Amino acid sequence: MWFNARAALCSATLRPRSYGNGGGLVQRFLRQAALAWAVAAIVSGAALAADQPVKIVALGDSLTAGYQLPASAAFPARLERALKAKGMAVDIANAGVSGDTSSGGLARLDWSVPEGTDAVILELGANDMLRGVDPKLTRKALETIVRSLKSRGVEVLLAGMRAPPNMGPEYRRAFDTIFPDLASTYGLVFYSFILDGIVADPKLKQRDGMHPNEAGVDVIVGRILPKVEELVGRVRARR
């Protein structure tokens, strides 16, 4: 009797009186630890995504392709080099096709701009102008490209083109307004004239008087660079 009472007393003394509460504390600790782990994983994943190179496709004509230039001297290659020199992680694919029109760019859009592309530099329209294509058709093709890219979540930098005086004032007015109108309507990063700084300087052009030489490409890169940095910034802000 005495032994049983003493054993019961010892048992009651040694038994954790708040075992049930302790279990709750353990469960709360585990829940908090799991939550902390999940948050850390999300933050880590976001940081990893932010560190990934921004994938850009330069979709254009011969001005993008690098007509008569080595691949390393083409606009996309020189632009990528300039951005990396500023510490920006980018990969720029050259999807320029010499002689391409805006309709041609639209026809090959899906395979020229693969899944996983973050941004596109859209440089088309020069050949439309040189061939006297109706500006309404050029506008429609470019707008369809822009809408398709936007629906995919791809950021767009639109590089503008301008018609020369010999095309006549009516054509020039209809053509030149395509680019700022689209940029304004769709909230695009906009560079008003891809040939700015070289169009009137023969030292920056090849013998055909139309295409930039290597020095000309460097001028284009230097002038468009702030707009491309803005484009990259938009991509990173969304990650």
Residue 124 burial (10 A CB sphere; 0-12, 13-18, 19+): buried
Q: Which of 123, 220, 227, 125 lies closest to 178, judged by CA?
A: 125
* Catalytically active residues, by annotation: 62, 208, 211
State residue 51's pLDDT score: 74
Q: Contact at 8 Å (CB) between 232 and 119? A: yes
State residue 106's pLDDT score: 98
State the fold for domain 54-238: Rossmann fold (3.40.50)
Beta-bridge partner residues of 58: 94, 121
Helices 178-186, 169-176: axis angle to 10 degrees equals 20
**Annotated domain spans of the chain:** 16-51, 54-238
**Order of strands, sheet of 119-123, starting from the edge strand that comes earlier in the sequence:** 90-96, 54-60, 119-123, 155-159, 189-191
State residue 57's pLDDT score: 98
Q: pLDDT in tens for each of the 239 residues of the chain?
A: 333 444 443 444 444 444 345 556 656 666 666 666 655 555 545 555 567 999 999 999 999 999 999 999 999 999 999 999 999 999 999 999 999 999 999 999 999 999 999 999 999 999 999 999 999 999 999 999 999 999 999 999 999 999 999 999 999 999 999 999 999 999 999 999 999 999 999 999 999 999 999 999 999 999 999 999 999 999 999 99
User: In whole angstroms, what is the distance from residue 84 CA to residue 16 CA?
Assistant: 63
User: In whole angstroms, what is the distance from residue 138 CA to residue 128 CA?
Assistant: 7
Structure tokens at 17: 């009186």
Question: How far apart, in Å, are the Cα atoms of 33 and each of 37, 42, 98, 230?
Answer: 6, 14, 58, 39
State residue 2's pLDDT score: 38
State residue 5's pLDDT score: 41
